[in-house]
Amino acid sequence: MAKIFCIANQKGGVGKTTTTVNLAAGLAKVGQRVLVVDLDPQGNATMGSGVDKRKLELTVYDVLLESASIAEAKTRADKAGYDILGANRELAGAEVELVELERREARLKSALAEAAPDYDFILIDCPPSLSMLTLNGLCSAHGVIVPMQCEYFALEGLTDLVNTIKQIHANLNPDLQIIGLLRVMFDPRITLQQQVSDQLKAHFGNKVFDTVIPRNVRLAEAPSYGLPGVVFDPSSKGAVAFVEFAKEMVARIGSMK
């Protein structure tokens, strides 16, 4: 039965999508069966997995509106090594349409319950907001992975996210917990980044993942080839770090209740 994780952070451009597709590819590499759910209307995780969002007949939008199952709507990201439930601009409309519907925050959860036996990991790439879409992600998940850059305002943004997760934990999804904070785009030569990293460890202790993802241009280049960095250039520093992170996740999940 799959463990389900949201990759979330209300900030844009912090590395959510890069983390989703590379963790997925890393997990696939170490033998895990993975489904990626693209919950962002931008469809970056879809394109970055080598699936053309403009050519999809069924997407996560149809699943949220219950006109298709995940089994019907998913696509195989062949080279990346996992399945993906894609997204495109149509998903932006779901935000408004869901408001009118019953169980509006639990639609993805019901659909994933059906798909869960087929996978070891389900990774949900969230949009940069606390919208109905993100709420659907957080209500479905066992845990949240928070990618963050070690910058001055990083801790401030984190307080909002932690409070939101606490509220959802209390009211909608008692399973939900923060699995960990992932330091991404890290450059050890920048003193401020080292300081923020130390602060994070002081505040959050073992909620900070041991693995650190370095700033690495190969990770940024990979999406234009329709591949996660882990597959595009397996020997690059970024790819090696994400495979390490996949192993760390497998080990953490083994010890999860």
- Residues in 184-203 at the binding interface with ligand ADP, rule: CB under 6 A: 184-185
- Residues in 129-148 at the binding interface with Mg ion, rule: CB under 5 A: none
Question: Min. distance of Cβ 217 from ligand ADP in angstroms?
Answer: 6
- Token pair recorded at residue 43: 């469809």
Dist CA 47 CA 42 (whole Å): 9
Query: Quick one: 81 or 127, whose CB is closer to ligand ADP?
Result: 127
**52, 49, 48, 58: which is closest to 90 by C-alpha?**
58
* Among Mg ion, ligand ADP, none, residue 123 binds (CB under 5-8 Å by kind): none
- Token pair recorded at residue 195: 């300081």
Dist CA 115 CA 71 (whole Å): 7
**16, 248, 1, 6: which is closest to 142 by C-alpha?**
6
Question: Is residue 17 a contact point for Mg ion (CB under 5 A)?
Answer: yes
Give the angle 124-36-114 at the CA atoms, nearest 5°. Answer: 85
Dist CA 186 CA 149 (whole Å): 7
Question: Min. distance of Cβ 118 from ligand ADP in angstroms?
Answer: 26
- Residues in 59-98 at the binding interface with ligand ADP, rule: CB under 6 A: none
Question: Is residue 53 a contact point for ligand ADP (CB under 6 A)?
Answer: no
**250, 88, 93, 106: which is closest to 172 by C-alpha?**
106
Q: Which 8-state DSSP code applies to residue 174?
A: T
Question: Is residue 3 a contact point for Mg ion (CB under 5 A)?
Answer: no
Query: How many residues interact with ligand ADP (rule CB under 6 A)?
Result: 17
Dist CA 188 CA 71 (whole Å): 43
> By rule CB under 5 A, what string of x and - marks binding of each residue 31-70 to Mg ion?
-------------x--------------------------
Question: Is residue 22 a contact point for Mg ion (CB under 5 A)?
Answer: no
Among 209, 216, 230, 232, binds ligand ADP (CB under 6 A): 216
- Token pair recorded at residue 2: 């799959």
Concatenating the DSSP letter of every residue in 37-58 gives: EE--TT-HHHHTTT--GGG-SS
Question: Is residue 183 a contact point for ligand ADP (CB under 6 A)?
Answer: no
Question: Min. distance of Cβ 192 from ligand ADP in angstroms?
Answer: 17
- Please report, as ranges, the residues that interact with Mg ion according to CB under 5 A: 16-17, 44
- Please report, as ranges, the residues that interact with ligand ADP according to CB under 6 A: 12-18, 44, 128, 184-185, 213, 215-216, 219-220, 238
